[in-house]
Amino acid sequence: MKFFLFGTAARVAVLLFFSTPMPAQSVQPLTPRQQSIVTIAALTAKGDLPHLQQALATGLDAGLTVNEAKEVLVQLYAYCGFPRSLNGLNTLLKVRDERRAQGKKDVPGREASPIVSTAPKYERGQRILETLTGRPDPNPKTGANAFSPEIDRFLKEHLFADIFERDVLTYQERELATIAALVSLGGVEPMLQSHLGIGLHIGLTEPQLRQLLALEETAIGRQEAEAGRAALNKALETRNK
């Protein structure tokens, strides 16, 4: 009799669990398109061109336009260097041409909108960075930005103005690509933790970021994914304080 009561209670609990509306962040996985951005960025940063070729084709099939895939690869030069980025772009060009020869019609997609703001690039980049982090830019500067005012200017004017200001990809999509690349590179945990915090601030959820790390484990390796999970846990602890 006790077993029956326990079983009934358990069944009721399960029914209540599935009939109760769940928070949005627990039921919104990364879309196939977002997953492709993650895998493309991870493989580009690692330099795994054979698997990148397959990932790019999968991404185009999942709804990425040619220009969106290209934008991911262009952005990554800021995080993993011109050699990786150019190899990725040449791989995309090869994939596009092969698919075209097979009769597949990939959507080119739109180009970035012209920048109409007349504000100095440093100010525009600073505003974008503050939007991403949700915090005012420190003044006076600290750390590396104080030690090297040049790198501070390059980051604001080029990375966050010239690149992040382009509207081919959303901020969330750019952060998915950035986080995936940093996990794949390894050894850059402080920057990775910072970008994980940015991702959470601009609407990526913990389950989505854990899904990203699961994709990394499949595409790149367990060691890199575990380091990413440790960085995510720290980013969550910081955010919850």
For 106-139, how does the pLDDT look when each residue is reduced to its tens digit (9 = 90+)?
Answer: 999 999 999 999 999 999 999 999 999 999 999 8
Confidence (pLDDT) at 13: 35
Interacting residues of 136 by C-beta distance below 8 A, sequence separation 6+? 130
Q: What does the block give as tokens for 135?
A: 């915090």
Cβ atoms of residues 132 and 201 within 8 Å: yes
The pTM (predicted TM-score) of the whole model is 0.88
Question: What are φ and ψ of residue 177, in 5° steps?
Answer: -65, -45
Among the listed residues 148, 228, 220, 155, the one whose alpha carbon sits nearest the alpha carbon of residue 188: 228
Q: Is the pLDDT of residue 68 over 70?
A: yes
Write the CA distances from 139 to 8, 132, 197, integer angstroms: 61, 17, 21
pLDDT in tens, 157-200: 999 999 999 999 999 999 999 999 999 999 999 999 999 999 99
For CATH 1.20.1290.10, list the domain ranges present in the chain.
29-108+170-241
For 140-150, b/e burial (b = at least 16 CB within 10 A) is eeeeebeeeee
pLDDT score, position 25: 45
Let me know if domain 29-108+170-241 sits in CATH 1.20.1290.10: yes
pLDDT of residue 241: 80
Query: For residue 80, what are the contacts with CB-CB under 8 A and spacing of at least 6?
Result: 44, 45, 181, 185
Q: Read off the pLDDT of each residue in 4-21 and give the average, rounded to a whole number.
A: 36
Is the model's pLDDT at 54 over the cut of 60?
yes
